[in-house]
Amino acid sequence: MPKGLNFVNYEKLLQMNTLYSTVLISVLRTVIGTLITVACCTFFSYIVTKPELYFRKFIYRFVVITLYFNAGLIPWYLTMRYLHLDNNFLLYVLPSAISGFYIVLIKTYIEQLPAALEESAMIDGAGYWTVFQNIIVPLSMPIIATIAVFAAVGQWNAWQDNYFLVTKQSLQTLQVMLYNYLNSAAAMANVNPSDFLDKNVSHRLTPESIKMTMTMIVTLPILFVYPFMQRYFVKGIMLGAVKG
């Protein structure tokens, strides 16, 4: 039974030198990866709405088909190695730059915008980039914010790419650190046995307590952000349901 409130587990984990570097990498991949994903998907979605684009339907369907089929884990692994993305920070941000699901949502939203706005701007001499930057993006902020939330959560929770393709400790993410401890927390007893044999039972570390503490550290950022972004989650789910 618990005996009082204490934060010994958190104090011990916060003393680990690797914790801060993994948090930094996770934050960087989340921020940079989200920005790249939102920018690429939004611009791509706008492009494929233009009838002037050659092979527009083929290009769009080629991207959307990835929602239903993928090459599998081994081809993905070999491709990343061939592109020299292993042990490279770009592994975290480049492969996720284009997402078929996000493109479907953004394209559907852009097509619902009044065409007269773009036509008026074109008559006044605006080019595609000017229209995209000054008209499409501001009017599409609700769907862009929704995609940004989904992309950020996906980046924060991602671990598979790091687990299979990154061996450098300096590029390890918080999620892989959690995964390793969840599978080998018992081995922590060999690192500092005194923490596991403390005479004060309330201060004693156990493999289970370490697992729970690491889980809370990884989950807390999402729990703090979610209340402010809840409406975008709901809106994204509704858009996906209507499109489906």
Is-contact 93 29, C-beta < 8 A? Answer: yes
CA distance 218 to 23: 9
The band of 72, judged by pLDDT with boundaries at 50, 70 and 90, is: confident
Residue 46 makes CB contacts below 8 A (sequence gap 6+) with: 106, 110, 132, 136
State both tokens at 222.
Answer: 């999402």
Output 133 or 209, whichever has higher pLDDT. 133
pLDDT at 193: 47
Percent of the chain with pLDDT over 90: 27
The CA-atom distances, in angstroms, between 212 and each of 16, 201, 215, 243 are: 16, 17, 5, 38
Higher pLDDT, 71 or 137: 137
Identify the helix (H) or strand (E) that includes residue 112.
Answer: none
Q: Which two tokens stand for residue 200?
A: 């004060």
Per DSSP, 93 falls in state: T
What is the per-residue pLDDT for 78? Answer: 92
Instruction: Tell me the pTM.
Output: 0.80
Q: Report the sign of the C-alpha dihedral through residues 217, 223, 226, 228, in that order.
A: negative
Write the DSSP symbol of residue 132.
Answer: I
Q: Residue 158: which of 144, 143, 178 has the closest Cα? A: 178
Alpha carbons 173 and 156: distance in angstroms, whole number:
9
pLDDT band at 7 (very low <50, low <70, confident <90, very high): confident
- Evaluate whether 164 touches 77 at the Cβ level (below 8 Å): yes
Does the structure show a pLDDT above 70 at 198?
no
Model pLDDT for residues 74-121, shown as the tens digit of each residue: 999 999 999 999 999 999 999 999 998 999 999 998 988 888 888 888
Q: Is the pLDDT of residue 186 over 70?
A: no
What the chain holds in terms of domains, given with CATH numbers, is 8-243 (1.10.3720.10)
Can you tell me the distance from the alpha carbon of 44 to that of 98, in angstroms, rounded to the nearest whole number? 8
Q: Mean pLDDT: which of 8-12, 157-161, 195-199 is highest? A: 157-161
Give the pLDDT confidence score for residue 244 in this predicted structure: 47
Residue 224 has pLDDT above 50, yes or no: yes
| More confident site: 118 or 191 | 118
The per-residue pLDDT for 237 is 59
Task: State yes or no: pLDDT of 201 exceeds 60.
Answer: no
Distance CA 171, CA 20 (A): 12
- Residue 190: is its pLDDT beyond 50? no
Cite the DSSP H helix spans in the chain: 8-14, 17-47, 56-64, 73-82, 100-111, 115-123, 128-131, 137-139, 141-157, 160-165, 174-184, 193-196, 207-243
The confidence band for 43, taking pLDDT boundaries of 50, 70 and 90, is very high
> Which of 10-24, 50-64, 174-188 has the lowest average pLDDT?
174-188
Q: What is the residue type of 157? A: N
113: region left, alpha or beta (phi > 0 left; psi from -120 to 50 alpha): beta
Cα–Cα distance, 221 to 173 (Å, whole number): 14
